[in-house]
Amino acid sequence: MKKLGIYSLLFGMFFIPNIIMAQNEPNNDVVTIDDGFQDYFYEAIKQKSIENYDKAIEALEKGKAIEPENPIVYFELGKNYLAQKRYKDAYDNFEKVTQMEPKNRWAWVGMYDVCYETHDYNQAIVIVEKLVEFKEDYKEDLTSLYMNTQQFDKALDLINELNEKFGKTEKRELYKATILKDSKYQSVEKNNLIEQIKKFPKEESNYIALIYLYSQSNQEEKAQEIAEKLEKAIPTSDWAQVSLFKFYLNNNNGDDAVKAMNIVFPSRKIDSKIKHRMLNEFLLFAKNNPKFETDLDKAISYFDNDKEINVAKEIGKFYYSKSDWDRAIKYFEMHLKSAADDIETQLLLMQAHTEKQQFSVLVKKADDLTQLFPTQPQFYYYAGLANNQLGAFKKAATILESGLDFVVDDEALEINFNIQLGEAYSGLGDNKKKEMYFTKANELIKKQKK
């Protein structure tokens, strides 16, 4: 916990004692009172300035013997004891000052410093509640103290009060987020946000927070109601469209979902993680509603410069996992237009063409890739497989034997190479080589099973 708005006492404010000074005025004899207090006091100040706290305390005790009702003596004693970490002595002396001068704010601050240093946060609250009477800034400290002592109901009330009066701060919003993880405080916050929306209908963040709370508690109708209020109050709000988008999808209203999506995706106000989530939700919707696939394609274009996620590739992988080969091919090719060196995607595309038995397409793509990536054995494998399927057995054998040289520490791929070579030589009528490669494949399979 960090103190806010509190100033160090060690070398800070001090009070000038009421020392009676001799003055010479015409025709007026003034008696000079020199009881030694002044010397002891300034000696204490001097010693404290060089961090000689024992001697400072010694001088102050002598001064106290002369003026036992002078609050400055106790205040300075408190500062010296605090510097020595003699916390009880420091607290007692600061407290003595507050008993003599209840409106002495710096003495209360001294007591707070002691409580803070000793982690006595409950007592610190008592003192800071008093300090708030002097300066409202101390409410920031009070918020932190309530959080530290888990008095979340008081903290939430104070956070809302300060937010309304002075505006939100990152620290207070973090505190609030922590509190609202506990559902028992959410109803209080919902009521607060409803009131804030009434008072400040153009403050977008209150709508967003309330929508979130309603969604978290599965009150979707109320969440939609607030999103609609936000759209009406602030027609330009991109955040309203974020919330409405989900409601449109849930109601199978694809047209309005597309409109909302096309407002959100170009927006610089909305975090990319939220946009990705929306795209994923629309992807699932489009899978069951193919007529919106064109809108999905347009949506992907908004992510062309996304450095974190290759959106078209991920959509291709989604369809690939569902064995929807046509769509997988479409989105892999979309991605490869700007990322031809993505070997993972190229291989997924090769397999998708294989699943579709599109061997004429596969043979051309695989041949080209062996030229671009001459040491990647997988491309030789797909080129050999495609040529076998097309009856070009001699070409298949030549390509496969070339590619086999690049297979290193990949038994599964080596097995597939040998199977395809067996197929090629079977097609060529070379039974000796056919048996050699099939035998080699079987040996590798048996080795894997051990």
Residue 446 lies in a domain: yes
DSSP 211-225: HHHHHHTT-HHHHHH
Give the residue-averaged pLDDT of 224-230.
92
Q: Residues 378, 442: one domain?
A: yes
Q: Residues 203, 240: one domain?
A: no
Residue 328 lies in a domain: yes
- pLDDT value of residue 3: 59
| Residue where a domain terminates, one of 219, 235, 251 | 235
- pLDDT value of residue 124: 96
Least confident of 240-249, 304-313, 384-393: 304-313
- pLDDT value of residue 19: 36
- pLDDT value of residue 450: 67
pLDDT tens digit string along 10-69? 434 444 444 333 333 333 443 334 568 899 999 999 999 999 999 999 999 999 999 999
List Cβ<8 Å contacts ≥24 apart for 238-244: 238/263, 238/264, 238/267, 238/269, 238/270, 239/204, 239/207, 239/208, 239/269, 239/270, 240/207, 242/270, 242/274, 242/278, 243/208, 243/211, 243/215
pLDDT band at 83 (very low <50, low <70, confident <90, very high): very high
Rounded Cα distance between 134 and 101, Å, is 14
Q: Residues 196, 282: one domain?
A: no
Residue 338 lies in a domain: yes
Q: Residues 346, 380: one domain?
A: no
Give the residue-averaged pLDDT of 147-172.
93
| Residue where a domain terminates, one of 235, 253, 284 | 235
Residue 361 lies in a domain: no
pLDDT band at 271 (very low <50, low <70, confident <90, very high): confident
Of 263, 258, 264, the C-alpha closest to 289 is 258
Radius of gyration of the chain (CA): 39
Q: Residues 295, 377: one domain?
A: no
- pLDDT value of residue 175: 94
Domain count, the chain: 5
Q: Residues 64, 11: one domain?
A: yes
Q: Residues 22, 71: one domain?
A: yes
Q: Residues 248, 196: one domain?
A: no
Full residue range of the structural domain in which residue 241 is found:
236-302
Residue 155 lies in a domain: no
DSSP 289-353: -GGGHHHHHHHHHTTTT-SS--HHHHHHHHHHHTT-HHHHHHHHHHHHTS-TT-HHHHHHHHHHH
pLDDT band at 172 (very low <50, low <70, confident <90, very high): very high
Rounded Cα distance between 423 and 434, Å, is 7
Count Cα neighbours of 424 within 13 Å in the Cβ-side half-sphere.
26
Rounded Cα distance between 107 and 94, Å, is 5
Plot region of 5 (φ>0 → left; ψ -120 to 50 → alpha; else → beta): left
Q: Residues 344, 426: one domain?
A: no
Whether the CB-CB separation of 414 and 390 falls below 8 Å is answered with: no
Of 261, 184, 260, 191, the C-alpha closest to 222 is 191
Residue 153 lies in a domain: no
Q: Residues 19, 125: one domain?
A: yes
Q: How far is the CA of 431 from the CAs of 398, 422, 425, in angstroms?
A: 17, 9, 7
pLDDT tens digit string along 396-431? 999 999 999 999 989 999 999 999 999 999 999 999
Find the CATH number of the domain harbouring 391. Answer: 1.25.40.10
| Residue where a domain terminates, one of 268, 284, 302 | 302
Rounded Cα distance between 100 and 79, Å, is 17
Q: Residues 280, 264: one domain?
A: yes
Burial 306-322 (b: 16+ CB within 10 A, else e): eeeebbbbbbbbbbbee
Residue 364 lies in a domain: no
Largest CA distance in the chain: 141
Q: Residues 93, 135: one domain?
A: yes
pLDDT tens digit string along 326-358? 999 999 999 999 899 999 999 999 999 999 999
Residue 426 lies in a domain: yes
